[in-house]
Structure 1
Amino acid sequence: MSQKEVELMQGIAEGLGYRKEVCTYIKEKKITLDNISSTHRPPLEMQHDIDQLSKYAKRRKEERLYKVFKDSVHGLITLHPLLVKIVDTPQFQRLRSIKQLGVGYRVYPGASHNRFEHSLGVCHLAKLLVTSLKKKQPELNITDEDVLCVQIAALCHDLGHGPFSHVFDGTFLKDKEKDKEKSKDKCKDNDKGPKPGPGPGPSSGSVSLVHAQDEDWKHENSSCKLFDHMYKTNGLEDIFGKYGIKDEINFIKEMINVPEACKGRDDKKSFLYEIVSNKETGIDVDKFDYFARDCHHLGIQSGFDYQRYIEFARVCKFNGKWRICTRDKEAFNLYELFSIRKSLFKRVYYHKTTCSIELMISDALKLADPVLNLSSSINNMEKYQTLTDDIYNQILFYEGKDSKMIEAKEILERIEKRQLYKFMTKIQISKDGEIDKKVKMAEEDLTQRDPKNFIVKTYKISYGMGNKNPIDQVGFYKPDNPSKAEKIEINKVSPMLPQIFQEEVLRVYYRGDDIETAKKTVDDWQEKYWVSPNVSFLVFRLWYVQVCNMLL
C-alpha cells in the first residue's frame, strides 16, 4: 500500500475517533483495512477497533460506487452501483433522445422532458415502495435481491419505447398493420372481381381507421428484448452475479411485461408484480412518476399524493391473492389518481393539435419505412437501439432522390410551417349495440367519399380499465385490523364520484387543402348519420341517465 493510501486510512481512523495506537499500527505495519493478514495481527485489545474500522472502510468503498442524481421532481435520487452500470449503457442513454410526451412538446412548450429522467424517477419510487413494505412487514421476507430486481425492472421498463414514445407503437405500427390487412382484403376482392370500396390511401398508403389504445404490440415487448440485448452486449453478467441476481433475468422481465402466469416468484410474493406495472388495478410507480412529472412540466396541478399511498401501503390477502392494499381513508386519494389520468388524456395526450401532428409524423414514418426499415427494426435490437426522435431531422433534412422520402420530408416541412392536418369535427359516442354499428358504417362512409384525405380515428379516455372502475379491484384495510382487506363501494367514498369510467370520441381530420369542400362533405355526413353535430351528445346523455338510473 502506498504512503498516500496509508495516510488516507490513518485519516479515516483518526476522524472516527479510534485510539492513537490503532492509527499508529495501521501506519507502521502498512497494511490495508480490507485485508489484515494473520501475520499482522494487532494486539488483542485493538482487534475490535480494527474490525469495526475495516467494515466501515469496505462500506465507504462500496458507497463511492453509488451515484446521486438531482431530479426536478423527486430531489436527490441515489442509485445502487448495479443500476449505475445499467444507466451507463448505450441502450439506456438512448432514452435521453426520446421525449416523454412525444410530439406534445410542439403544443406544450414546457413538455421537453425525456424518458431518461422518467425512468430514474420510477426506479426511485419503486425503491421507496418496496423498502417501505420490507420495513413495515418483515414477515413478507423481502430480500435485498428482491429490492434490487424491482429497481432494475423500474429502471428498464421503458427501454423499448420508439421514436416519439407512443406515436411509434400507438399510431405508426398499428397503422402499418391495418394497411397490411386492407391490402390483403383488396387482393381477395380483386380475385372476385371489381368491388366498390375505399381507394388507395393518401401518399402514406391507406386510410387510418385504428383505435388509439389497441394493444396488439406494446413497447414492453421491445423493453424486454432490448434489456436482453443490453445485458449481453455490455458484459453485465459479472456485476449481476456479484450482487446475487444473475439468475433473476426472467423475473425482472416479468415485472416489465407481466404475463398471465408468473414464474419468477411464488404466490406469497405475487405483490412484487404490482409495483412497476400493475395489471390488477393500474396503480403503480410508473403512473406515480409520469403523472407528477408531466404535471410539473405542463404547469398542471395534481391532486394525487403518492407519498401518502406509499406510507399506507401494506400487503394483505385480497381476492385470494397477496396484494398491495391501502388504508380505507385513502380511497378518495386513489380516485384523484385516476381523475388526473383522465384529465391528462383529455387535455394533453389526446389534445386535438397533438393528435394532428402525431398523424402527420405517422404518415411520414410510413413513407420513410421502406428506406429506413423502421417497422422491421422491432425484431432487430441492434437497429432498434439507434431509433430515437432524431429520426425526425433525418427525414426533414433528407437530400436524396427517393420519391417516398421526399414526400415524407414535405409532410414534416408542413409541420415546421404549422400547416397541420385540419381538425374537422368530433363525435361523442358510446359503444352500445346499434350505435356501435352505426359508428362503423359512418366511418366507412366518410373515408369512401375522399379516401386520400379524410382520417377517422377513435380515441378512448378512461380510468385505465375500460368501462370498469379500477378502485373496485383495490383492497382497503382498517387500522384496527391491518391484515384484512376488503372492497369499498363507491357510494361510501363520496356521492359526487363518477358512475361512468370511459368515454369514446370519434374525430375527423383532413389532409388536403380544399377546406371548404371538406366542410360541406363533413356537414353532409353528420346530417346523414348524426342529424346534427349535437345529437351524439344527446344520445350519450340519454345512455348516461339510463345507466345512472340502473345503478340507483
Structure 2
Amino acid sequence: MKKKKPNKLKILNDPIYGFIQIPNTLIFDIIEHPYFQRLRRITQMGFSNLVYPGANHTRFHHALGCMHLMQKAVRVLRFKQIEISAEEENALYIAILLHDIGHGAYSHALEHSIVSGISHEEISLKFMKKLNTEFNGQLSLAIEIFEGDYHRNFLGQLISSQLDIDRLDYLKRDSFYTGVTEGNISSDRLIAMMNVKEDELVIEQKGIYSVEKFLIARRLMYWQVYLHKTGLVAENMLVNVLSRAKELAGKGVELYASSSLKYFLYNQINEENFNDETLNRFATLDDYDVLSAIKEWVYHDDKVLSLLSKMIIDRKLLRVEMQQKEFKETEINKRLTKVAKKLVLTKEEVKFFVFTKKILNQAYQQDKPIFILNKKGKIKDIAKASDQLNLQALTNPVIKYFICYPK
C-alpha cells in the first residue's frame, strides 16, 4: 500500500487574526523543525506576567503572527504594482518567521548574565545559517534580506525598521494579552497604506494618523508594559540570580540544573567560542530549564542564590524607586550598608540586592525615518509631515533612573 503523504498546507487559528495559512511546504518544514518549536517554550514578555497575568504568550505565537502580516503586506504591495518575485516573497516569510529564533530563555535576561558578548540577533543568524545548510541553501535569500545586504532596500525595511512587520505584530499582540488597550494599533490599516517609492518603504498620506497612533501606542506600551517598574525589577532579579549561579559555577560549586543550563553555567560562552555544539545546546535551553533550576536553588546553601530565588518564586520582589535624576552615591551607599547589616551579607553579596540602573524610552528615532508619501508623490519624514506638535517631542529620548532594594 502506498504511504500517504502528510498534509503540509495547514491552517492555524490565532486569537488576534483568526485563521493563519502556512503558504508552502518549505515553511511548514521550518516551523516543524526543533529549532523553531523551541519558541513555544519561550515567553514573549519574560516576567511581565507577574504584572499582567494574561501575558503568557510565546515567541512562537509572535513569529506566526508576523508571517501572517507579511503575507498581507506582500498582497498589498503587489496590488499597488510593486514587483515582488516568488523567491523574494518566500524569503520575506522565512526571514520574518526566523527573526526572533535566537532569543534565549526569558528573552533578554540570558544575554545579560550567562552568555556574554553575543546578541540574540547574532544567534538568530547562526540558527538561520545552520537551517540553510539543512535545507540545501533554500534560506540564502532570506539571510541576505535579514542581514540588510539585498539590493532592494524596502524588503529589508519590512523585516527591520521603525515601522516593520515585527512591531506591527508585537504591539497588537502584547496589548491583547496584557489587556493594555492603549497599545491596540490598527496593523491592517497600516499595511493597507504601505507603498514603495525610490526603494523606500513609505506610508501614503491618508495613513498619517494611523502612524501617529502607532508611535504614541508604542510610547505608552513602553512606559506601561515593557518598562513597568515591577517587570523591570523582576527581570533584573532574574539576571542577578543567573549571574550569581554563574559565579558559583566558576568556583566549582555544585548547582542543580538541566544539562543544557549546566553547559552555559559551567562554560564561558562568548562570540568567539559560540560553535555548532553551543548552538545545539542553546536550541534545547528554554524558560522551563531556568524556572525549574530557580525552584531548586531556593534550597541552596548559598544565601544570595537561595534568597533571590525564593523572592522570585514567591513574587516577593525588591522595592523599586524611580526618578528623573541619578541617585546620589551617598544614598546608594547608605542603602548598601543598611541591607548588608540587616541580611548579614558581605560588601560583594549585597550588590545583588541593592543596585541602580537607568532606562531609556524613545518612541521615534529620526535617523531611521518613517516616510510619508504625499499626494504629489514626494516623500517626507513623519516628524515633519505631521501637524501633531507632540510627534516632534517623541523624538527626544526620555531617561529615568531606578534603585532596587529589599522591602
Please give the TM-score of this superposition, normalised by the length of structure 2: 0.81
Q: How far 1:92 moved relative to its partner?
A: 0.5
Given that 1:303 and 1:336 are in contact with CA atoms closer than 8 Å, whether structure 2 keeps it comes out as: no
- Change beyond 3 A, Cα 1:362–1:491: same
- Change beyond 3 A, Cα 1:337–1:492: closer
Q: Which residue of 2 aligns with 1:13?
A: none
Q: Which residue of 1 aligns with 2:217?
A: 340
**2:16 is aligned with 1:73:** yes
Pairing partner for 2:315 from 415, 418, 438: 418
**2:290 is aligned with 1:392:** yes
* Aligned residue type for 1:418: R
Q: How far 1:347 moved relative to its partner?
A: 0.8
- Change beyond 3 A, Cα 1:300–1:393: closer
Q: How far 1:443 moved relative to its partner?
A: 5.6
Q: Which residue of 2 aligns with 1:362?
A: 239
Written as runs of structure 1 = structure 2, the 5 A alignment for 1:106-145 is 106-137=50-81, 140-145=82-87
The answer to which of 77-86 and 408-417 deviates more is 408-417
* Aligned residue type for 1:143: S
**2:163 is aligned with 1:283:** yes
Q: How far 1:487 moved relative to its partner?
A: 3.6
Q: Deviations over 1:145-194 (max 9, x none)?
A: 0000010000001101011112222x436xx86xxxxxxxxxxxxxxxxx
Secondary structure of 2:211 counterpart: helix
Given that 1:68 and 1:77 are in contact with CA atoms closer than 8 Å, whether structure 2 keeps it comes out as: yes
Q: CA RMSD in A?
A: 2.9
| Whole-Å separation in 1 of the counterparts to 2:86 and 2:404 | 52
**2:151 is aligned with 1:252:** no
Given that 2:383 and 2:391 are in contact with CA atoms closer than 8 Å, whether structure 1 keeps it comes out as: no
Q: Which residue of 2 aligns with 1:310?
A: 191
Secondary structure of 1:493 counterpart: coil
Q: Which residue of 2 aligns with 1:351?
A: 228
Q: Which residue of 2 aligns with 1:236?
A: 135
Secondary structure of 1:361 counterpart: helix
Q: Which residue of 2 aligns with 1:221?
A: 122
Q: How far 1:252 moved relative to its partner?
A: 2.0
Pairing partner for 1:162 from 101, 104, 112: 104
Q: How far 1:407 moved relative to its partner?
A: 4.4
Q: Deviations over 1:501-530 (max 9, x none)?
A: 32111001114xxx5xxxxxxxxxxxxxxx
Secondary structure of 2:160 counterpart: coil
Q: How far 1:141 moved relative to its partner?
A: 3.4
Given that 1:356 and 1:420 are in contact with CA atoms closer than 8 Å, whether structure 2 keeps it comes out as: yes
Pairing partner for 1:327 from 177, 191, 204: 204
Q: How far 1:448 moved relative to its partner?
A: 4.3
Q: How far 1:496 moved relative to its partner?
A: 5.1
Q: Which residue of 2 aligns with 1:525?
A: none
Given that 1:443 and 1:456 are in contact with CA atoms closer than 8 Å, whether structure 2 keeps it comes out as: no
* Aligned residue type for 1:253: I
Q: How far 1:447 moved relative to its partner?
A: 4.3
Q: Deviations over 1:280-325 (max 9, x none)?
A: xx110000000010111111224532212221211102xxxx1011
| Whole-Å separation in 2 of the counterparts to 1:73 and 1:135 | 24
Higher CA-based Rg: 1
Q: How many residue pairs were aligned?
A: 368
* Aligned residue type for 1:455: F
Q: Which residue of 2 aligns with 1:180?
A: none
Q: How far 1:131 moved relative to its partner?
A: 3.1
Given that 2:298 and 2:310 are in contact with CA atoms closer than 8 Å, whether structure 1 keeps it comes out as: no
| Whole-Å separation in 1 of the counterparts to 2:68 and 2:230 | 33
- Change beyond 3 A, Cα 1:97–1:488: closer
Please give the TM-score of this superposition, normalised by the length of structure 1: 0.61
Given that 2:37 and 2:60 are in contact with CA atoms closer than 8 Å, whether structure 1 keeps it comes out as: yes
* Aligned residue type for 1:99: T
Secondary structure of 1:275 counterpart: helix
Secondary structure of 1:160 counterpart: coil
Q: How far 1:402 moved relative to its partner?
A: 7.1
Given that 1:303 and 1:340 are in contact with CA atoms closer than 8 Å, whether structure 2 keeps it comes out as: yes
| Whole-Å separation in 1 of the counterparts to 2:28 and 2:101 | 15
Q: Which residue of 2 aligns with 1:185?
A: none
| Whole-Å separation in 1 of the counterparts to 2:310 and 2:87 | 51
